[in-house]
Amino acid sequence: MWRRVTSLSSFLTSPSRSFLLNPNQEAYGQRICKSLCTDGGKSGSGGFFSRDHCPYIAFVLGGPGSGKGTQCTKIVENFGFTHLSAGDLLRKEITSDSKDGSMIFQMIKEGNIVPSEVTVKLLQKAISLSENNKFLIDGFPRTEENRISYERIIGAEPNMVLFFHCPEEEMIKRVLNRNEGRIDDNEETVKARLNVFRGLSLPVVNYYAAKGKLHKINGTGSEEEIFERVKPIFAALRYFGI
Ligand SMILES: Nc1ncnc2c1ncn2[C@@H]1O[C@H](COP(=O)(O)OP(=O)(O)O)[C@@H](O)[C@H]1O
Ligand SMILES: Nc1ccn([C@@H]2O[C@H](COP(=O)(O)OP(=O)(O)O)[C@@H](O)[C@H]2O)c(=O)n1
Ligand SMILES: [Mg+2]
């Protein structure tokens, strides 16, 4: 993979590239290239990933109802990633006999964020139980504290970050129609979750945008239309064997 990354870097910086790529395509290519060359595994520095096992990690962000889970399912089907939903892992913990179950239940019911250490440990366990080497981490990090805790415990940054941008009215409509029997899909909790999203999650999105890791995707339209916007990002990774 490294050899191929190097060849893309030189392609992108070659004097002839301007005949092939317009400025938008070039920026896109640079972002893909960066996602391969990431400081993902601070290998050997005591992090969770080792030099030999440093999976490709994409964080999937967006407000409640922005379509994260729906698009992750399509990415899994088409590109072979493993989908880890932080919300699903937390909900599973409620139904197990875990000591954190009642605390997690209360946090989710109120639309609050579960202490980062709990969520990072669940993600860590799910990654280590999987044979796959490419993961979508959906709904995480939702706060700067989540992000910093992941970096501290895992010792790595994500390779790329997808962000589904969707108007609030549309997100509310989708959540209230979701019909999965979730305790937090009601008007009152949705309001709280949107406040958390605006106040605590958007700074994380801005952080990754400033780092050049963010793919902002228009989350309006049909599921298929949105997936057409997602596809090229993952199709480009295939070229590098990811
Ligand atoms: N593009 C779309 N248009 C209309 N409804 C959608 C779309 N994408 C997802 N949904 C529906 O909206 C609800 C929320 O989607 P979901 O993928 O669970 O979002 P998130 O994981 O971001 O909360 C689900 O019921 C889903 O079927
Ligand atoms: N990183 C995370 C993710 C979810 N959660 C909790 O789990 C709830 C549901 O998360 P989710 O990702 O399943 O929700 P959606 O955005 O899919 O609607 C959140 O509102 C939080 O209460 C959390 O505390 N920390
Ligand atoms: Mg979801």
What ipTM is given for this predicted complex? 0.99
Q: Look at ligand 1, atom 14, and give the residue with the nearest C-alpha.
A: 65
Least confident of 20-34, 42-56, 69-83, 121-135: 20-34
Contact between 64 and 194 under an 8 Å Cβ cutoff? The reply is yes
Specify if 99 maps to a domain.
yes
Number of compact structural domains in the chain: 1
pLDDT range class, residue 39, cuts 50, 70, 90: low
In a domain? residue 144: yes
Residue 35, domain member (yes or no): no
Residues 94-108 pLDDT 10s: 999 899 999 999 999
Does 171 fall in a domain? Answer: yes
Query: Domain for residue 129, yes or no?
Result: yes
Q: Is residue 22 part of a domain?
A: no
Enclosing domain of residue 75: 55-231
Q: Is the CB of 194 under 6 A from ligand 2?
A: no
Q: Which ligand is nearest to the CA of 88?
A: 2
For residues 242 and 14, which has the higher predicted lDDT (pLDDT)?
242
Q: What is the pLDDT of residues 63-101, one digit of tens each?
A: 999 999 999 999 999 999 999 999 999 999 999 989 999
Pocket test for ligand 2, best of 153, 174, 184 (most atoms within 8 A of CB): 184
Here the CATH number for the domain that contains residue 143 is 3.40.50.300
Euclidean distance between CA atoms 65 and 177, whole angstroms: 10
Q: What is the pTM of this model?
A: 0.90
Residue 1: inside a domain, yes or no? no
Ligand 1 atom 12: residue of nearest CA: 174
Give DSSP secondary structure letters for the chain.
-HHHHHHHHHHHHSGGGGGT--HHHHHHHHHHHHHHS-S---TTSS-SS-SS---EEEEEEESTTSSHHHHHHHHHHHH-PEEEEHHHHHHHHHHTT-TTHHHHHHHHHHTPPPPHHHHHHHHHHHHHH---SEEEEET---SHHHHHHHHHHH----SEEEEEE--HHHHHHHHHT--S--TT-SHHHHHHHHHHIIIIIHHHHHHHHHTT-EEEEE--S-HHHHHHHHHHHHHHHHTTT-
Q: Is the pLDDT of residue 143 over 80?
A: yes
In a domain, 169, yes or no: yes
